[in-house]
Structure 1
């Protein structure tokens, strides 16, 4: 079974590499703004998926009203054994806007945590794009 999974993973990686070679090259992005991207991974215990989603939706609804919010997308891992069940990718006008908004959220939504859910947020700047 492990060999089959390993072979499938190698085949997938080879396909990704070939696709990358066949597409146009990426170009460096000139940093012209203070815009940041939040990438937040969520480890969700079995049985807590719906509560985690509801918590994320409540947070998203609050953050959408905050100054500097641009957009967000929540991704779900189709692999039930994957480490990260959910990954949130959000765009903010600046790190300062994000920090202020999340401080407001923590003060306002004090009861929004889901027991056992571990999340790891961090901010990034885009340096290349296609």
Structure 2
């Protein structure tokens, strides 16, 4: 366990990508199907470890979906997200007026570990 303010992970080590989605509860299934297509692209990229899309148990939750993915390094994640097909699909998802979403993506390091 670490309790200081320094990340547990060293530079160049694995990173966690978290993207929290605001999407209407009635649009979750459609968005999740599109997300799965984008995740399939990312899963073929060097440095990909895993990815899971979590769904809120309550339709009243502000954030209906949360994506948690692990990458071998920030550089691997950056290279993968630079893929033109992935960028086009991501842009299309953001601009889709039938399933409006607000995404909140960021890379994270472990701050505290109780494993």
Short-chain TM bin: 0.7 to 0.9
Q: Is the 8 A contact 1:41 1:121 kept in 2?
A: yes
Equivalent position to 2:9, from 14, 27, 31: 31
What is the CA-CA distance between 1:128 and the residue it aligns to?
2.5
TM-score between both structures, scaled by the size of structure 2: 0.78
Residue 65 of structure 2 corresponds to which residue in structure 1?
86
Report the TM-score, using the length of structure 1 for normalisation.
Answer: 0.70
After superposing on structure 2, the runs of 4+ consecutive aligned residues of structure 1 that deviate more than 4 Å are: none
Asked whether the equivalents of residues 38 and 91 of structure 1 are also in contact (C-alpha less than 8 Å), the reply is yes
Task: Identify the residue that residue 120 of structure 1 maps to in structure 2.
Answer: 104
Unaligned segments of structure 2, at least 5 residues: none
1:74 deviates by 1.2
The structure number with the bigger radius of gyration is 1
CA shift, 1:99, in A, is: 1.5
C-alpha separation between the residues in 2 aligned to 1:49 and 1:122? 21
Secondary structure of the equivalent of 1:91? strand
The CA deviation string for residues 36-65 of structure 1, in whole angstroms up to 9 with x for no partner, is 001110111243212210111011100000
Residues matched between the structures, number: 103
Distance 1:78 1:49 in 2: 12
Relative CO higher for 1 or 2, CA cutoff 8 Å, sep ≥ 6? 2
Q: What residue is the counterpart of 2:31 in the other structure?
A: 52
Q: RMSD of the TM alignment (CA)?
A: 2.0
CA distance, structure 2, for counterparts of residue 49 and residue 110 of structure 1: 16
Gaps (5+ residues) in structure 1?
Answer: 1-26
